[in-house]
A and B are shown apart, each in its own frame.
Chain A
Amino acid sequence: MPSKWIKTPLSKGVHYLSGNEAVAEGAIAAGCRFYAGYPITPSSEIMERMAIRLREVGGVFIQMEDEIASISAVIGASWAGAKAMTATSGPGFSLMQESIGYAAFTETPCVIIDVQRAGPCTGQATRVGSGDIMQAKWGSHGDYQVIALSPWSVQEMYDLTLRAFNLSERYRVPTMVMADEAVAHLRENLSISAKVEVLNRKKKKGASPFGTEEEDGVPPMPSFGEGERLLVTGSTHDGFGFRKTDDPGAHAKLVSRISEKILKNRGQIIETEDYFLEDSEIAVLAYGFTARTSLYVVNHLRKDGMKAGVLRLKTLWPFPEEAVKELGRKVKKVLVPEMNLGQVAGEVRKYCSCEVIPLGQTNGEVIQPETIIEMLKKI
């Protein structure tokens, strides 16, 4: 895999930024040189900063007429050779779903930042939520896999955006950063190192761009204008892009490969963090901003003698089922606080052998430490 260490565009050291601003900086560091977007609260600061930063680094910025056009332009630019990104929130994320399916099926690298707000529908545009977790996985029709990451700090808005680009290029898959309003508008220190590792898509002249016998299941990807005379289509296709709209074998082969290439590389994709799980009887499983609160609570309760720990999911899709299975073997009860009505809790139940207690909250506010403490004491 072509990988290189490059100098970061931002100077090495500590910067004081908001989460949304950190996303833009992470993208620029990763080599993103194309952004298309449409304004939507609470993600707009990403677009505003990209408009300035892409001009500075010689990239392309365009504000499109809607979110459908934004993600479509991103896919077009990606095939023209760009590392490309868009950012949005719930309603825009809904509009993008058909094109996300197109990107998954045509194996187009692209990064989508979803700064989640309180839904459904227009909901509360300025308030926090994390109700798009299932949509990230199941939003487009048909069977496919994507990668979705969940940052809990301004630092991770930078780090995981950068990682999202690397994963997207590595596996030729749409990759999402499932941020939330709380992390996006948080301001805190962001530490930038002098050099970052970036991955670039692999290329091989004349090779089939939609089929591979290689073990990782990821074919090389040429760009338009390189003389490869590419045939790209969202219809079922063979290794060279010829439409195969009534061939059962071609469909089964393609659909299973685009899923398998993600699932069999789970080990390289999934990241989780655990705290105090060695001696815990009860665990809080959390992600995003809620994981910060959960760790704060657990730190506090351990001082009072409660044997509690935290499993934090940095990767939401593909789902960290092994980590959750192991958690089920270690502890007696798992509490899953989240800013929706139990989307990840349901997934945890699938793999966790112990009791799983959902703590869903959908009032447009972050979950307070007291709410989790109260629940932990009750169970």
Chain B
Amino acid sequence: MVRAMEKYIRPGVKVTPFCPGCGHGLLMHSILRAIDELKMDMKKMLFVSGIGCAAWIPSPHFNGDTLHTLHGRALAFATGAKLYNPDLCVMAVSGDGDLSSIGGNHFIHAARRNIDLKVICANNMIYGMTGGQVASTTPKGSKTSTTGEGNPYRPFDLCKLVEAAGATYVARYSVTQPVALTQSIKKSILHVGFSFIEVLSPCPTQFGRRNRLDRPEEMIQDLIQRCILEEEAKGLTEEELAKRIITGEFLS
């Protein structure tokens, strides 16, 4: 954590609980950087999260109001708080399992209503906290603690899902693209309506070691190589595209 962002950290919080090589610290920094650049008043910010590693990004670290809720329910809690007090800037930060699996129904309905929530999904493509089980975002063929032979099912494309459901700002970035990610979070904060940013965040502990990416830097390298912009994807064949992750703003 760059010291400059320390002023946004809750006094008394000394260390993050994240594993070595986890991408969530990078995402945490991008969020705080965006808040800093926009000079947001932390006293008017409410951070809502569900259950899982990513839910610990705002709670207890961020020195605003935080609501650490139940597994999957972050957006329903956030909806209630935002509707009753529209002056709050409400940001939900949670994981892929929390938002799109157990919380899938709240996810599409919050998007449909286009309620002014800034939703950031830290997608590590696996259930990290509970021991590396398959998620609704795990790529087909990937090994997890519950798919030893490789995941037989297709993952969600969260951006397409939420766009179809009615979100009005949709983007995908990786923690390996911190500048673009920070700019995107700033746009999301300024956007009025339901905004969604999917942030690819490596989990070497649970995902990497089961999928031949044992070392943290290997996961980072892998993301750097695979993440391409929409324009770069245009000339590629379907086979080449299958290995890539398209990033950028899809709806703004």
> Which A residues contact B (CB, under 8 angstroms)?
33-34, 36, 60, 62, 64-66, 68-70, 72-82, 84, 98-99, 102, 223-225, 227-235, 241-243
User: Which 3 residue pairs spanning A and B have beta carbons closest together?
Assistant: A76-B80, A73-B80, A72-B76
B64 within 8 A of A: yes
A76-B67, A229-B64, A232-B66 known; A68+B84 contact, CB < 8 A: no
Q: Do residues A76 and B48 form an inter-chain contact, with CB atoms below 8 A?
A: yes
* B88 and A224 contact, CB distance less than 8 A: yes
A232 to B74, CA, bound (A): 12
For the complex formed, measure the closest distance between the CB of B77 and the CB atoms of chain A, giving whole angstroms: 4
The yes or no answer to B118 lying at the interface (CB within 8 A) is no
Q: In the complex, A264 Cα to B249 Cα: how many Å?
A: 57
Q: Would you call B66 and A80 a contact (CB within 8 A)?
A: no
A34 touches B80 (CB 8 A): yes
Chain B minimum-CB-distance residue to A242:
B60
Residues 88-122 of B, flagged 1 when their CB comes within 8 A of A and 0 if not, give 10000000000000000110010000000000000
Contact A231 B10 (CB under 8 A): yes
Which chain A positions have C-beta within 8 A of B106?
65, 69, 72
Between B43, B44, B46, B67, the greatest number of chain A beta carbons within 10 A of the residue's beta carbon is seen for: B67
User: Is A73 in contact with B79, judged by CB distance below 8 angstroms?
Assistant: yes
Decide: A80 and B88 in contact? CB cutoff 8 A. Answer: yes
From 54 to 86 in chain B, residues with beta carbon under 8 angstroms from any chain A beta carbon are 59-60, 63-70, 73, 76-85
Q: What's the Cα separation between A207 and B104 when bound, in Å?
A: 37
Is B235 close to A, CB under 8 A? Answer: no
Asked whether, in the complex, the Cβ of A62 is within 8 Å of the Cβ of B83, the reply is: yes
Residues in chain A near residue B105, CB distance under 8 A:
65-66, 69
Complex Cα distance, B65 from A228, in Å, reads 7
8 Å CB contact of B87 from A33, A225, A233: A225
How many angstroms from the CA of A76 to the CA of B12 in the assembled complex? 25
Q: Which residue on A lies nearest to B72, using beta carbons?
A: A68
Chain B residues near A72 (CB-CB < 8 A): 69-70, 73, 76-77, 80, 106
Do most interface residues of chain B lie in helix, strand or loop, or is the interface mixed?
A: mixed
Q: Would you give 12 A-B contacts (Cβ < 8 Å), ordered by A?
A: A34-B83, A36-B79, A65-B106, A72-B70, A72-B77, A76-B79, A225-B46, A227-B43, A229-B64, A231-B60, A231-B66, A234-B68
Beyond A102-B70, A229-B42, 7 extra complex contacts between A and B, CB < 8 Å? A77-B81, A77-B83, A80-B82, A231-B66, A233-B68, A234-B69, A242-B12
Given A62-B79, A76-B80, are A81 and B85 neighbors across the interface (CB < 8 Å)? yes
Give which listed residue, A36, A68, A233, contacts B80 with CB less than 8 A.
A36
Q: How far is the CA of A84 from the CA of B60 in the complex (A)?
A: 26
Is the Cβ of A224 less than 8 Å from the Cβ of B42? no
Tell me whether A79 and B83 are in contact (CB under 8 A).
no
Task: Give chain A residues whose Cβ lies under 8 Å from the Cβ of B63.
Answer: 229
Residues on B with C-beta less than 8 A from A229 are 10, 42-43, 63-65
CA distance A210 to B117 in the complex (A): 27
Residues of A within 8 A of B84 (CB): 33-34, 60, 76-77, 80-82, 84
Q: Which residues of chain A come closer than 8 Å to B59, judged between CB atoms? A: 231, 233, 243
Q: With A and B bound together, what is the CA distance between A227 and B45 in angstroms?
A: 10
- Tell me if A75 and B80 are in contact (CB < 8 A): yes
CB neighbours of A34 from chain B (8 A): 80, 83-84
CA distance A84 to B65 in the complex (A): 19
Name the residue in B46, B84, B85, B88 with the highest tally of chain A Cβ atoms < 10 Å from its Cβ: B84
Question: Are A76 and B10 touching (Cβ within 8 A)?
Answer: no
